[in-house]
Structure 1
Amino acid sequence: MELSNQFVLGGSICFPPKLTRSPAGVSHLRFALEHRSLQHEAGLQRRSYVRIQVVMSGDDAPQWANELNVGMQVQVSGFLNRIEDKNGVAKLVIHAQQLVKI
């Protein structure tokens, strides 16, 4: 049985998207998504604030790089994955499989 890893988050782009290409020639678009909302938990309202890196890889990445701007509202669907920065610090990122402007 394969375990599920599906994630959807809406928010605004808070830093300029950056397009890179891997040594294998795969395009990667990276940007930070900021989400703010009120959520209900245990009968109470709770403020939710998330800032997370989004990575979109493949043929659609260059097109999105030209369309996305800071402040734009988007909804990202994909899966969560762990990456390490240059200092070895682990963090979660969303690997976008679908991106929709809101």
Structure 2
Amino acid sequence: MLDRQIAANGQTVTLKHNGVPYTMRAFVRGYTPREIGNGIEQGDSKVVLLPTELTAAGFPADQVPERLDTMVVSGRARNVEYANPVELGDTVVRYDLLVRG
């Protein structure tokens, strides 16, 4: 279901990991004023990536998005501050990234 939502409503982003660019669809949104604090700054964005999108883009199966990867969103290069895997049972169903810059 999340795959269909990102296909229909997501946007194209490019994740640069270990110097290699991977283009895929993702949800990108800013943080609300109530969410700012505890390491989240004004201008930061939350990016939701799906494992299926990573695989389709050719992202290495034995690696995960990580801090200091670069993400291009709407033509603007930004830094990944963290990538939090979200699991259902023992399966990662998405990665929530905080991007800055």
Same fold (TM over 0.5): no
- Which of these two proteins has the greater Rg computed from alpha carbons? 1
TM-score by length of 2: 0.29
Give the structure, 1 or 2, with the largest relative contact order (CA under 8 Å, sep 6 or more).
1
Greater strand proportion: 1
Greater helix proportion: 2
